[in-house]
A = this chain, B = another copy of it.
């Protein structure tokens, strides 16, 4: 491609494509993932009561993508465990993040500059994981774009997609939330990556693989850094999503006439049917405004996105001193 030649980016993209994820980038992925787990509500207590459940949860955060894509492709789900070095590295990280004397490791890694670097490195591993999934699916299902996207997505965002079952390991069960009902930013960006790499693999996208890797990696890293620095969790795709949503999914009218507040109340009633007794008392107060709110904003109070916890302040550390 000419533009890459002009900007001397060809070498850079080749260099990136040949980069080894092991051990530094993998390590950053483990640290950021396990810190995200630690910042979930109730996890510190579980880590005291049952170190084994905590370790298993951590492994699902680190290797969830591998486990999910293995199950989908009927390959052994224990395969990630067979890579002893990775498991050892992740286990050491888990131990240091949760049980280090004086909580040194967590507090250091939670400092903004270091966390920024680690999160950036974790985003780089996303490119490799998505590409790995797409390639693996392509070798089994030559012509199926859908399968490639599904496996690439599962491999890149597995930890989020299986979060219901990861929580179950810790004794938490929140059926009313999942990544399909309300996608978090990492899940969205991974889905977009999976679509792009699958299109590239099937030559619908006229780009070379290492060029796409460069573009996608830069986009994810820059975007993640921006989100961490500004503290915003707004999706960069909110505009596009809203437009697509309004064009495609507001066809027939009976439901569109409801106000957004009423809709939220409906969803609460429907979703938690038979499991919880969430109070939705104030649900009908604001009725009267007659606008249709897109799903991007509609449910923001209901679900806690994983990336928010990644941006969380390091108050735990301060308390512990």
Contact = CB atoms under 8 A, between A and B. Distances in A.
Interface of A: 41-53, 56, 70-78, 81-82, 84, 87, 95, 98-103, 137, 140-141, 143-147, 150-151, 164, 168-178, 180-183, 245, 248-256, 263, 266-267, 269-277, 295, 298-299, 316, 319-320
A320 B182 CA distance: 27
A170 B272 CA distance: 10
Contact of A147 (B81, B170, B276): B81
A126 to B, nearest CB: 20
A102 B141 CA distance: 39
Contacts of A319: 254
B103 A273 contact: no
A270 B172 contact: yes
Contacts of A41: 270, 273
A49 B254 CA distance: 14
Contact of A248 (B51, B144, B171, B274): B51
Nearest to A167: B175
Contacts of A141: 78, 82
A191 B272 CA distance: 31
